[in-house]
Amino acid sequence: MTTIFSLSSSSSSFLTTVKPLKPFSSQKPKKPTLHLTKSVLSSTTETSSTVLTSFWQWVCDKGVISNKSPSIKPGIVPEGLGLIAQRNISRNEVVLEVPKKFWINSDTVAASEIGKFCGGLKPWVAIALFLLREKSRKDSPWRSYLDILPNTTNSTIHWSEEELSELQGTQLLSTTIGAKDYVQSEFLNVEEEIILPNKHMFPSITEDDFLWAFGVLRSRAFSRLRGENFVLIPLADLINHDPSITTEDSSYEIRGGGLFSRELLFSLRSPVSVEAGDQVLIQYDLQKSNAELALDYGFTELRSDRNTYTLTLQISESDPFFEDKLDIAESNGLNETAYFDFILGNSLPPALLPYLRLVALGGTDAFLLESIFRNNIWDFLELPISRANEELICQAIRDTCSTALSGFGTTIEEDEKLLEGGNLDPRLEVAVRVRAGEKKILEQIDGIFKDRELELDVLEYYQERRLKDLGLVGEQGDIIFWEPK
């Protein structure tokens, strides 16, 4: 019987290693063309103590900090800027509360002089335009806050072509290119529809500026808040990350200002005890991979479970059983395309094998797709279906791993030697850790399916299990033939 898809190292109709892009959209990545021109942004410089003092004075004058003896204060730290404890702080103590009138969100944009031009835009695009508009104004009421924003970060979206070449073969590279392409696409749309027709309101905004605003929002905005997709919180967004903090509890929330107040407050807590003079730190997100941390913030962690790799599986529309397979996938919480994240050192994602077997199902096994099996087929797919089906998925995964590994420019051993040597440029260290982590996962996946290939002759398949259920197979696996008396 003919299989329903082709599986080779060069082409697979159901499996890919391209990681889905998640900037503020699910667009597929493709190589961007960026045009860098004169920008409204100043050259990259470290934040001076004068600028920081001005910002702190602005914070106090505006009433962002209402307490005369604040528990935290902004300061210059190794990461750039951070929040410094002014006294000993207890675990889970509230260290900062910022009223809504000092947030920068969609409401802020709507109430501003560019609000009438931004209706219907994606929230992040509207906020990006607001930041750039205010940054171009010398008399902006947000000037003191804008002056402390970094002109660039170590996020991979700001890396040079030479630096990005160190990510050769990684999913992070394709995601970074996709993110830049996404920003370019959004910029071209908003340039045509809003910026150019209203030059008096949006002077000299370039694509490079727009990428900067995207990076600011990606790295500094708070999300998953009550009623807020994301929002910039001046002062609070100086909080830095501590990898040693592993609590699942969020360190921030939006809450009411009091029993008789309707004003909302952004409340920031310290997840650990802090001594006076030390930084107040939080955990940004335990679920983010090193690649995501690198894309958003420009750093990685040493924890092995931060290393992930995403395989994308798809039921081909040319599959003669496409509709049946899609129905089964959707009935079990999956779809035509499914993404499976592999974590270094962890077992296979739970639904991976059933979905693989479903996608590969064909030939003499296709009878399982008939409607009479519909309520039970996912249970069947939890276990091997046939030797041909199991062998096919092993070959597909191993071919995919082999192809992906061949795309890297270095070996794991070469990467580890670089890391052991130390004194790496921060961006190079990020690149080496990400690419080494991805390769280790690919080798781990390949090893799992290599071992599985060696077990193909001893695995128990659907037909054998079915015969056992009917009492037609003996203890030694021999088929029982009933003879008439």
For residue 59, what are the contacts with CB-CB under 8 A and spacing of at least 6? 65, 74, 144, 234, 235
On whether 133 is known to bind a ligand per the annotation, the reply is no
241 is in an annotated binding site: yes
Q: Which of 267, 308, 310, 309 is nearest to 286 (CA)?
A: 308
Tokens (6 digits) for 450: 């290599």
Among 153, 162, 119, 115, smallest CA distance to 134 is for 115
Annotated binding-site residue? 465: no
* 145 labeled part of a ligand binding site: no
Range 326-333, long-range pairs (CB < 8 A, 24+ positions): 327/374, 328/358, 328/369, 328/374, 328/377, 328/378, 329/355, 329/358, 331/374, 331/378, 332/378
| Helix-strand-coil split of the chain, %, nearest 5 | 45, 15, 40
What value does the CA radius of gyration of the chain take, rounded to a whole number of Å? 27
CA distance linking residue 220 with residue 119, whole number of Å = 23
> What residues contact 140, with CB distance under 8 A and at least 6 apart?
134, 146
Retrieve residue 261's tokens: 């107040």
b/e per residue, 173-211, with b = 16+ CB within 10 A? Answer: bbbbbbbbbbbbebbeebbeebbeeeeebbeebbbbbbb
In the annotation, is 182 catalytic?
no
**d(C-alpha 213, C-alpha 104), whole Å:** 13
Q: Of these residues, 145, 284, 309, 355, which one is catalytic?
A: 284
The rounded distance, in Å, linking the Cα atoms of 97 and 94 is 8
* Residue 252 assigned ligand-binding role: yes
Calculate ∠ Cα 326-331-332, nearest 5°.
Answer: 100
Instruction: Kindly tell me the burial class for residue 469, based on how many C-beta atoms sit within 10 Å of its own C-beta (0-12, 13-18, 19 or more).
Output: exposed
Q: Is 220 annotated as a binding residue?
A: yes
297 annotated as a binding-site residue: yes
Beta bridge partners of 223: 230
Edge-to-edge order in the sheet of strand 94-99: 94-99, 261-269, 252-258
H/E stretch holding 83 reads strand 80-85
Instruction: Please tell me whether 158 is known to bind a ligand.
Output: no
State whether residue 37 is helix, strand or coil.
coil
Residues comprising the binding site for substrate? 220, 224, 237, 252, 284, 297
Q: Which residues are annotated as a binding site for S-adenosyl-L-methionine?
A: 79-81, 220, 240-241
Q: Which residues are annotated as a binding site?
A: 79-81, 220, 224, 237, 240-241, 252, 284, 297
Q: Which residues are catalytic?
A: 284
